[in-house]
Structure 1
């Protein structure tokens, strides 16, 4: 496994994305929802990888839910960087990482695939995330 580190601009939130996949070949998704398009989001996940999110001050972590309310979108309250989305809790937590928040983001060079999930039901969305997102944890520093 290779670890790709990153985080928000001010350093309150740190990321460690572990994957055995080559970042240049990893599928990058550009969600077309209004939240993601306004942020120029490029998301990635490796179902066999892992995302660890470390937070120095939880009061500075903005958790936003919208639409079907099936995931938490994580944004730093201070610097405004969108770093990840996470669904589920504990051992069932699954996530995507926002490639733009990684320190070595230039290695993730594959052209993003535009995706739309508006037609999914709540159950379909949860099932897709369980199968395509990666295991994740959020912990305090």
Structure 2
């Protein structure tokens, strides 16, 4: 496994994305929803990998939900960087990492695939995320 580190601009949120996949060949998705389009999002996940999200100050973590309300989109309130999305809770939680928030983002060089998920039902969306997104842990300092 290779560990790809990253996080938000101010350092409040840190990422550790572990994957055995070559970042140059990894599928990168460019969701075409209004939120992801406005953020220029390039998302990646490895169902056999793992994402750890470490938060220094929970008060500076913004969790945003919209649409079908099936995922939490994580942003830093201090610097505004969108770092990841999480669906589910506890051991069932799955996530995508935002490639632009990784320190070695230039290694993820595959052209993003523009995708629209508008036609999915709530159940279809949750099932896709359970199968394609990766396990995630969130560590919040002081908790």
TM-score, L = length of structure 1: 0.99
Following superposition, the deviation at residue 7 of structure 1 comes to: 0.1
| Superposition map of 1:1-141 within 5 A | 1-141=1-141
User: Aligned equivalents of 1:86 and 1:140: distance in 2?
Assistant: 15
SS of equivalent residue, structure 2 residue 17: strand
Which deviations, in whole Å up to 9, do the C-alpha atoms of 1:106-125 show, x marking residues without a partner? 00000000000001000000
Q: 1: CA distance between counterparts of 2:138 and 2:35?
A: 22
**Alignment length (residue pairs):** 141
Gaps of 5+ in 2: none
Displaced runs of 4 or more, over 4 A: none
Q: Deviations along 1:62-100, whole A, 9 cap, x unmatched?
A: 000000000000000000000000011110000000000
Give the TM-score normalised by structure 2.
0.98
Tell me how far apart the structure 2 counterparts of residues 124 and 7 of structure 1 sit (CA, whole Å): 29
> How far apart in 2 are the matches of 1:94 and 1:25?
21
- Cα shift at 1:137: 1.0
- Cα-Cα RMSD: 0.4
